[in-house]
């Protein structure tokens, strides 16, 4: 199983798009600006808010599929 996954990774590494994505991710892995604790807190709240919105959207989707209307 590992050999199959390794071969897939090797093939994906040869594709230019995946190589470019890996280079971009490596370049921006660490932030180059300093953030105050308040900024970090605000970003955390925004991340939680986004997760809640996605969960609500998923809930609405599944309730509509089941036939219920909210």
The DSSP annotation for the chain comes to -HHHHHHHHHHHHHSHHHHHHHHHHHHTSS-SS---HHHHHHHHHHHHHHHHHHHHHHHHHHHHHHT---
- The predicted model gives 3-23 an average pLDDT of 75
Confidence check: pLDDT of 37 > 90: yes
- The predicted model gives 38-51 an average pLDDT of 96
This prediction's pTM: 0.52
Could you tell me the residue ranges of all domains in the chain?
1-30, 32-70
> Among 41, 31, 18, 17, which residue's Cα sits nearest to residue 9?
18
Confidence check: pLDDT of 38 > 60: yes
Looking at residue 14, its pLDDT comes to 66
């Amino acid at each position: 199983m590992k050999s199959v996954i390794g071969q897939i990774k090797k093939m994906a590494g040869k594709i230019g798009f995946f190589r470019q994505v890996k280079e971009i991710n490596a370049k921006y892995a660490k932030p180059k600006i300093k953030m105050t604790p308040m900024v970090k807190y605000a970003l955390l709240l925004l991340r939680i808010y986004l997760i809640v919105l996605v969960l609500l959207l998923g809930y609405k989707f599944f309730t509509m599929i089941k036939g219920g209307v909210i």
